Amino acid sequence: MKRRQLIVLVAAVAVATLLPAAVARAGDVIAPGPDANEDIQEALILAEAGAVVELGEGTFELALPLSLARDGVTVRGQGIGKTVLSFAKQETGSEGFLVTGSGCTLEAFTVADTKGDGIKVKGANGITLRQVRAEWTAGPKTENGGYGLYPVECKNVLVDGCSARGASDAGIYVGQSENVIIRGCRVEENVAGIEVENSNHVDVHGNTATKNTGGILVFDLPDLPRQGGGHVRVFDNDVKDNDTPNFAAKGNIVALVPRGTGLLIMANRNVEVFENRIGGHPTTNVLISSYLTTGREIKDPKYYPFPEGIHIHDNEYGACGSEPDGELGKIVAGIAGLPLPSIVWDGVVNPEVAVEGALPHDRRLVITEKVEDPGKFFINLDLLTAMRDPKAAKPSRDLAPHEGEREPLTPAKVPGAE
Amino acid sequence: MTARPPRPRGRAALLIVGAAFVVAATASVALSAATARDDEPAAAPSPVVLDLEARPPKWLSAYRLFEGDGSDQRPSHGVTPYDVNTPLFSDYAAKHRFVWVPPGKSARYHAEEAFAFPVGTILIKTFAYPRDARDPRKGERLVETRLLIHHEDGWKGWPYIWNEEQTDARLKIAGGIREVAWIDAEGGEQSLRYIVPNANQCEGCHGQKPKLPEGVTPTPGPTKVKLVPIGPTARSLNRTLAYADGEANQLARWTERAILEGAPASEEAPRLAVWDDPETGSVEERARAWLEMNCAHCHNPRGPGNTTALDLRASQRDPLRFGVRKPPVAAGRGSGGRLHDIEPGDPDASIFVYRIGSTDPGIMMPELGRRLTHAEGLALVREWIRGMKDGE
């Protein structure tokens, strides 16, 4: 059966030649088209450490989410706005792109209109997001996904030169992570521009946060596996005109952020805020609050709801406080009058560590700013007393209890970020 | 038979050459598949073929898990069917589950976790739709068969998609979408763009972090996730099944066939309620069983959904941990404006009901593996929440 043998031989050669071409995608540029969804996913599954999965220019219409579970893989597009992964017609998946491998880099592309989160990175040791954009193209809408760029439970995170727009929770969110740098990013028209939650050793610098509901949030929240967030430096950022009405779905913690909040620090230990330019905020430029002020019940016995060791110095402040938002805004305005000052502290401290009402120096809120009119710059609301008995409350604009020296925090270290 | 040719790829240079190859490749596959079947005696001892060193075969038939072409899902000798008390809802697909343990080896019993299966074990799950639910004789349309194979370095998952002719299923690591249509029990025409998950998404449900000692706080970062089986636990398998030679308890039958060792008598083993059988448990027990099987593969302390500390295993006794008045953490619009996962007595104010009832990818739970709402499961969860007293 010579003919048959020939067919088998040809077939064998064909299989040998065709298969590698079909599966070994790393090194090729994947172009948009009807097969692209499958092509990209296949390449991500087969990529070995060190491989680059390159995406061509154009819009990729993706119905299925992408996921990368291998270590040390780079996914590279041709640039923000040039390579667009559009999930407008996404049929499944609570995020557009999920990374669970360690040491991966995503760079130079846009992820648009995902049904849930944009890019989620979970449990990775080492992740770089560089020149990546997460966007909901119709602008602020409650129906938009929660987080744009979303590393959680990670170690060694670099978010560099990225951008996010339209997230119904946070544009760039880093949660329950350690050693994090978020730099040179632009976040606009999200509920929260940048949110750092239950994380440690974090630098947020050189970013622009504008037209969000709140510009930059540093939170520590209860009921999460990892708690005790702190050692966060927020510096050299432009935090301007964050005045978009809050469009988060109720029930989420960010739904409580008043429209027009520049920087919000809630709970946390050791946060240093310096050399930022903060202004144009209808509620206030800087709000420092205990979790108790949210009015939410705390059922988690391990949770520490008080912000301590906060240091604010050498920032430039613009106008704020003429139109405070929401329930909190109303209460604050009732105590402070309008316009609200640039720094508003709820004044809620842990009675167990306070000595005659004052915290020991290392836990104290320290403010070192050159201001023209110190009497209009700051207020301690004494909010807990005010809630119980408004007449007994002693709100104070005195900066004297907040003077003093404090050692600068050490920079966050992320390998490869130098 | 005609096997589906590999799809030509988008690169122009390859297209022409590719087109010629496609024909040849098809012939090759058809030849080898035909040979495999012709040569194989029907009742050979251990016909199953598994090479743990090789890349996974391109075609499901290569494993020889089924009699004939597998279209009627009759297992080969040594391949044992099983069922679970309460299943994961998968868009009303019928599921055919099988286990194959290498001859001479057994799984070790565990009262709580999935049994410790030996290397070389294959867990097999086929998803299918009836052609006409009113007439079982018309058979089923097989959509996909998922294999979970135990290698030396852990479990690996592979999705095989059945061809139109229903003669074989082809490995599709990137998953895909398949149109399925069937006639339901009332004679109504149903159709669905069924989603076959990709190989990475196995981790979305089967991925678990290594166990931490009691009281140790999880640290972020490099805890490598491992795939684990979900279905074959004592509490899910502890039930009777109609085997070819009559009914038997599955734990007893697995022991008898030496698939399992160390199992106690079935009365001594834990048993999960059957979600839709009131004789097997109270509303609470059945709702918790449904939540365990549909949610706890993610929402347990080591699962992919552990970030929010929600734990939906039926064994979790702390109401806050299983959602009672627990505020959402990263729900985004998935909160639907509701304040708590479970609001006792008020299903409509509970995020659970909102997310289990949604089919929007950005809202729905579970987030993988379904496009439809499990109306009956949702009704059970509603009933449970409605019956909760305020003080609970």
Do the beta carbons of residue A219 and residue A263 sit within 8 Å? no
Counting as low any pLDDT under 70, the low residues of chain A are 1-27
Classify residue B215 by its DSSP letter: T
Q: How far is CA A143 from CA A136, A146, A174, B354, in A?
A: 10, 9, 21, 14
A315: distance to nearest CA of chain B, Å? 31
Q: What are phi and psi of B15, to 5 degrees?
A: -60, -50
pLDDT at residue number B45: 72
Across the range B128-139, mean pLDDT stands at 92
Out of B31, B225, B332, name the one closest to residue A252 (CB): B332
- pLDDT band for position B214 (cuts 50, 70, 90): low
Residue A78 lies in a domain: no
pLDDT at residue number A327: 86
**Burial degree of B146 (CB within 10 A; 0-12, 13-18, 19+):** buried
Query: β-strands B94-100, B80-82: how paired?
Result: antiparallel
3-state secondary structure of B146: strand
Choice among A170-174, B22-26, B187-191 with the minimum mean pLDDT: B22-26
Instruction: List pLDDT tens digits, range B224-251.
Output: 678 999 999 999 999 999 998 899 999 9
pLDDT at residue number B282: 97
Do the beta carbons of residue B344 and residue B389 sit within 8 Å? yes
- Check CB contact under 8 Å for B18 and A18: yes
Task: Give the residue from A11, A5, A22, A3 showing the smallest Cα distance to B28.
Answer: A11
What's the pTM value of the predicted model, to 2 decimals? 0.83
Length of chain A counted residue by residue: 418
**Angle in degrees, CA A370, A372, A378, rounded to 5:** 75
- Check CB contact under 8 Å for A224 and B177: no
- Check CB contact under 8 Å for A100 and B351: no
**H or E stretch covering A33:** none
3-state secondary structure of A302: coil
Cβ density class A104-121: b for 16+ within 10 Å, e for less: bbbbbbbbbbbbbbbbbb
Interface test with B, best of A38, A220, A303, A414 (most B CBs within 10 A): A38
- Check CB contact under 8 Å for B309 and A224: yes
Q: What are phi and psi of B61, to 5 degrees?
A: -60, -25
Out of B175, B225, B325, name the one closest to residue A100 (CB): B225
3-state secondary structure of A250: coil
Taking chain A, what is the end-to-end CA distance rounded to the nearest angstrom?
67
- Check CB contact under 8 Å for A152 and B330: yes
Instruction: List pLDDT tens digits, range A119-162.
Output: 999 999 999 999 999 999 999 999 999 999 999 999 999 999 99
Distance CA B82, CA B250 (A): 7
Sign of CA dihedral A359, A361, A364, A365: positive
Neighboring chain A residues of B368 at a CB cutoff of 8 Å: 92-93
Distance CA A205, CA A275 (A): 10
Do the beta carbons of residue B297 and residue B303 sit within 8 Å? yes
- pLDDT band for position B13 (cuts 50, 70, 90): very low
The two tokens of residue B119 are 């290397």
Interface test with A, best of B4, B7, B9 (most A CBs within 10 A): B9
Residue A143 lies in a domain: no
Do the beta carbons of residue A216 and residue A204 sit within 8 Å? yes
Distance CA A229, CA A217 (A): 12
Placement of tokens 């009119």 in the chain: A373
Residue A268 lies in a domain: yes
Domain span at residue A367? 189-418
Task: Give the residue from B360, B149, B218, B197 showing the smallest Cα distance to A122.
Answer: B218
Query: β-strands A343-345, A284-289: how paired?
Result: parallel
Instruction: List pLDDT tens digits, range B59-87.
Output: 999 999 999 999 999 999 999 999 999 99
Q: How far is CA B51 from CA B102, B121, B122, B208, in A?
A: 12, 11, 11, 25
**pLDDT exceeds cutoff 90 at B142:** yes
Length of chain B counted residue by residue: 392
3-state secondary structure of B62: helix
| Percentage of chain B modeled with pLDDT above 90 | 70
The beta-strand segments (E) located in A258-371 are 261-266, 269-274, 277-279, 284-289, 308-313, 316-317, 343-345, 366-368
- pLDDT band for position B22 (cuts 50, 70, 90): very low
Distance CA B149, CA B154 (A): 8
**Measured in whole angstroms, how far is the alpha carbon of residue B70 from the centre of its chain?**
19
The single-letter code of the amino acid at B361 is: P
Distance CA B109, CA B266 (A): 12
Classify residue A3 by its DSSP letter: H
Placement of tokens 């899902």 in the chain: B73
Q: How far is CA B211 from CA A155, B150, B305, B364, in A?
A: 19, 19, 15, 28
B92: distance to nearest CA of chain A, Å? 17
Residue A210 lies in a domain: yes
B residues 249-268 closer than 8 Å to A (CB): none
- Check CB contact under 8 Å for A22 and B367: no
So where are chain B's domains?
A: 1-39, 44-212+223-272, 281-392
The two tokens of residue A188 are 């606009």
The two tokens of residue A246 are 């809050």
Instruction: List pLDDT tens digits, range A199-247.
Output: 999 999 999 999 999 999 999 999 888 889 999 999 999 999 999 999 9
Residue A402 lies in a domain: yes
Sign of CA dihedral B265, B267, B268, B270: positive
Question: How many domains, chain A?
Answer: 1
Distance CA B278, CA B284 (A): 11
ipTM for the predicted complex:
0.73
Distance CA A286, CA A66 (A): 38
3-state secondary structure of B180: strand
Taking chain B, what is the end-to-end CA distance rounded to the nearest angstrom?
61
